[in-house]
Every structure is written in structure tokens, then in C-alpha cells.
Amino acid sequence: MPFSNFELKTVDVDAGAIRLRIGGSGPPLLLLHGHPRTHMTWGTVAEILAPFFTVVCPDLPGFGKSYIPQDAPDSIHSSKMEKARSLRQLMDKLGLPSFFLAGHDRGSLTAFRLAMMCPDIVRKLVIIDGLPVLEHLERADWRFARDWYHWFFFAQPGKPERVISADPEAWYDKLSPDVMGAEAYADIREAIHDPAVIHGMIEDYRAGIRVDHIHDKQDREAGRKVSCPMLCLWSLRDDLQQIYTDPVAIWRNWASDVSGFGVDSGHHVAEENPRDLAAAIKTFLLTED
């Protein structure tokens, strides 16, 4: 059973309610999941890390059973900046004002934005299978268009929600209880059958195309970088390294102190190889600077 001895709770922030699980003991660690997951993707990783950290696993805003951000023409309420603000409020309300931070996939974008906005509270940052949105867009080539076409489909108004909601399990045909575990599968299956959640997840992508890349560009032009130590991890059986060659080299444009390496896994590493992922996170976070 994942998340044994973890508390399931809902915490209100200014923008709405955030569902989360919290457990363990030690320095706080906030884990942010990717698309189309909920916090349940972290179940085994959280169990492994709980003896060493107070682990907080929320559903990202727009995902699972957390609040759905309000619509806006530029999707600003689904921006990583606004989600970062909500997550900082969440940690404050939990009495954990300074913490370690790790994010996977879409969660890595919010983690990056939170570390950029709040250098005084993020002690170390782990990015898993992610790059800044601006890097993806500026480096997009035929391989990106072929394999990551959904970024541009999801950016279209209205149509993605209608297509996905017509048959959610056909669209998300890689979901499997054999890989995810029965509890996580049941949780995400419920989420993808909720049209409001589908809309919230799609808006996360629209925000990337509409406004998140602008925030990245503003940081780059101002010379701002992540100031805390950062670890970049990527799944060796996914395509981040294949498309971009050296993710660490790219991240050195955005962070002052970066190291990184690949993990033997497909894209959903928290489910496919949780032990190696947890070991990498633990070693990095507990190693003295």
C-alpha cells in the first residue's frame, strides 16, 4: 500500500484547495508530479525517502483533486509562476517555510519557477525529465514536432478537451495498474474522466505556449539564475537526451551550480525505477555543500 503512515489532507490557499499527502520526518521535501499523473505517482519514492525527509506530495493545481485555476485569455492562472505562488503558500501553511524541491515533467517547470522566484526558501532543486519551456520552444526541430506534437495540439482552444474527453482511456493508453500500482491507477483513472481536470491539465500546456516562455525570457534577459545547488536527472529510455544531447549543459544557462546524470528508466521514472530515483534524490539532498 503506497503512502503508509502518510496523512491525506486538503489545504486551502488563496487560489483554492490543494490535495496532498504528507509523512516522514526530517528536512522538508516537496515533490511535484508530471502529466497526466497525480501525487500518487510518488508512492514508492515517498516511502523510501520518508525515513530521511518530511515528504510533501501535492496534486499540482489543475491536476487530480487540487483546484482548477480560473480561465484567462493568456492562461496566466495556470502559469508556473501562479502555481509556484500557491505551492509556497501551501508549504507556509504546513509550517515548512524552507524546503528541498523536486519536480518531474510538467512538475519540473513549476519547480524551476519556484526556485527562481524564491531563492531564499528552496534549499536544493532536483529537476527530472525537464528543461525550461523557452529552451524547448527555441530548440524545437522535426524530432520535437514528431514526438512532442501534443504541446502544440494542447495549445489550441477547446479542441483538445473534446478529443480527450470523448475517450480518455484511449488517449491515455499508456496508463497501466501493472506499472503504476492499483491505487495510483484508480486515482488517475478517476481524474481523466473528469472534464474539469482534463481542462486544467491542458491549460498547463497552454500557459507554457502563452506566458511561461515569456517569464523564462525575462529571467534570461535579466541574467537571473537558480542560485541553489541543482541536480538534473533524465530517463535514459526516454528522449530528452536523444533530442537535446546534454541536458546538464543546457541547464548551466539557467542555474549556477548544476550536476546531473541519466537514470535507467522510461519517462515515468517514479513508477518504473523508484529505488534508483529515490537514491539519487537522497544522495544529492543530504550531501553537504
pLDDT band at 289 (very low <50, low <70, confident <90, very high): low
DSSP single-letter state for residue 78: G
Within the chain, where are the H helices? 43-49, 80-93, 106-117, 133-139, 142-147, 150-154, 159-166, 168-171, 177-180, 182-192, 195-207, 213-222, 240-244, 247-251, 269-272, 274-286
Q: Which letter does DSSP use for residue 94 in this model?
A: T
Averaged over 55-71, what is the pLDDT?
98
Average model confidence (pLDDT) for the chain?
A: 96
Mean pLDDT of 54-81: 98
pLDDT of residue 2: 84
pLDDT tens digits, 212-254 = 999 999 999 999 999 999 999 999 999 999 899 899 999 999 9
User: How many other CB atoms sit within 10 Å of the CB of residue 279?
Assistant: 15
Mean pLDDT of 89-98: 98
Q: Running DSSP on this structure, what letter comes out for residue 255? A: B
Which listed residue (136, 213, 267, 268) is catalytic? 267
CA distance linking residue 30 with residue 89, whole number of Å: 13
Q: What are phi and psi of 130, to 5 degrees?
A: -155, 155
Taking Cα atoms as reference points, which of 78, 98, 85 lies closest to residue 30? 98
Residues 6+ apart with CB under 8 A from 116: 219, 224, 225, 226
Q: Is the pLDDT of residue 1 over 90?
A: no
Q: Which of 33, 77, 105, 216 is catalytic?
A: 105
When pLDDT is cut at 50, 70 and 90, the band that residue 94 belongs to is very high
pLDDT above 70 coverage of the chain, percent: 99
Name the strand (E) or helix (H) holding 234: strand 230-235
CA distance 175 to 41: 11
Mean pLDDT along residues 189-203: 98
Look up residue 209 and give its DSSP letter.
I
Instruction: Provide the 3-class DSSP secondary structure of residue 33.
Output: coil
> Residue 104 is which amino acid?
H
Whether 267 is catalytic is yes
Q: Residue 184 and residue 270: Cα distance in Å, rounded?
A: 12
- pLDDT tens-digit map of 16-29: 999 999 999 999 99
Per-residue confidence at 143, pLDDT binned at 50, 70, 90? confident
Question: What does the pLDDT look like over 25-50, one tens digit per residue?
Answer: 999 999 999 999 999 999 999 999 99
What's the pLDDT at 288?
A: 82
Q: Which domains, from first to last, does the chain contain?
A: 7-286 (3.40.50.1820)
